[in-house]
């Protein structure tokens, strides 16, 4: 690892946000030991993340409620290097109306959405299961996936461990933002398995557990 790689890959910021893993983390740590001057840049990046106003975006499509990043949870898939961040939040989160209109389920209006689960891509590692708060009513499930999934149709399957729920979306197409979206009914407390399935081959690409409390 060298200065150019660090700059071009935003390594300092990603380290500050705890998003480095594996070899990249180790290589940066070794670099940091020999270049302690980076401690100041790391501290500055951490300060930005901590002190950044939550109402940074002040337009109608922007978030107006708290989206404390500490509440976001993540984990990875070794094969397709996905990371998941989940948050039960109100309808005013970052998700804009345009992307909701693009979602697979058009029968529910924006106002009907009570919560959402957001799944982001990254190359990180974390643990199962993920715990989120229960939310009544419809939930927007928004998944951002790497562009190497472009052109594929994926389905999402949610099932409770006790067998009380077995829900599967129709084939979902990635939109221009590399995002899959669908809406399902609120999940009562319990443990659930969330699976992503290739619609064409019915093969499971990723699965993980969620604890709804």
With binding defined as CB under 8 A, does residue 18 bind other proteins? yes
Taking the mean position of all CA atoms in its chain, how far away is CA 57?
20
How many of the chain's residues bind other proteins (CB under 8 A)?
Answer: 54
Q: Mask of contacts with other proteins, 111-150, x by CB under 8 A?
A: -------x-xxx---------------------x-xx---
Whose Cβ is closer to other proteins: residue 12's or residue 210's?
Answer: 12
Gap between the Cα atoms of 169 and 156, Å rounded: 5
- b/e string for 184-196 if b means 16 or more Cβ within 10 A? beebeeeebbbeb
Span interacting with other proteins, options 38-46, 130-138, 187-195, 202-210, rule CB under 8 A? 38-46
Alpha-carbon gap, residue 205 to 196, rounded angstroms: 6
The reply on whether position 195 binds other proteins by CB under 8 A is: no
Q: 165 near 141, Cβ under 8 Å?
A: no
Select 139 or 142, whichever has its Cβ closest to other proteins.
142
For the chain, the 3-state helix, strand and coil shares in percent, each to the nearest 5, are: 25, 25, 50
- The verdict on 98 binding other proteins (CB under 8 A) reads no
Q: From the CB of residue 204, how many other CB atoms can be counted at a distance below 10 Å?
A: 11
Q: Are strands 204-212 and 130-132 parallel, antiparallel or unpaired?
A: parallel
Our CB check for other proteins shows the closer of 29 and 185 to be 29
CB-CB contact of 205 with 196 (8 Å): yes
Query: Is 57 near other proteins (CB under 8 A)?
Result: yes
| Segment interacting with other proteins, rule: CB under 8 A, options 44-52, 155-163, 164-172, 200-208 | 44-52
Options 3, 5, 22, 30; binder of other proteins; rule CB under 8 A: 30
- Between CA 120 and CA 110, with CA 170 as vertex, the angle to 5 degrees is 65
Q: How far is the CB of 26 from other proteins (least distance, A)?
A: 8
Residues that bind other proteins (CB under 8 A): 7-8, 10, 12-13, 15, 17-19, 26, 29-30, 32-45, 47-54, 56-57, 59, 62-63, 67, 69, 72, 85, 94, 118, 120-122, 144, 146-147, 176-178
């Amino acid at each position: 690892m060298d200065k150019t790689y660090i700059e071009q890959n935003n390594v300092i910021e990603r380290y500050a946000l705890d998003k480095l893993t594996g070899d990249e983390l180790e290589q940066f740590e070794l670099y940091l030991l020999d270049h302690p001057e980076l401690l100041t840049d790391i501290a500055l990046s951490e300060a930005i993340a901590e002190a950044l106003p939550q109402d940074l975006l002040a337009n109608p499509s922007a978030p107006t409620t708290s989206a404390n990043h500490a509440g976001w949870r993540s984990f990875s898939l070794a094969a397709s290097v996905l990371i998941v961040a989940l948050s039960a939040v109100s309808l005013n989160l970052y998700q804009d109306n345009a992307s909701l209109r693009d979602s697979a389920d058009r029968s529910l209006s924006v106002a009907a959405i009570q919560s959402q689960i957001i799944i982001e891509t990254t190359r990180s590692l974390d643990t199962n299961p993920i715990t989120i708060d229960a939310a009544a009513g419809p939930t927007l499930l928004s998944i951002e996936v790497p562009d190497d999934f472009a052109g594929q149709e994926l389905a999402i399957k949610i099932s409770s461990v006790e067998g009380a729920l077995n829900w599967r979306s129709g084939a979902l197409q990635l939109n221009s933002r590399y995002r899959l979206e669908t809406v399902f009914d609120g999940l009562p407390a319990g443990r659930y398995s969330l699976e992503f399935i290739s619609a064409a081959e019915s093969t499971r690409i990723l699965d993980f557990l969620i604890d709804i409390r």
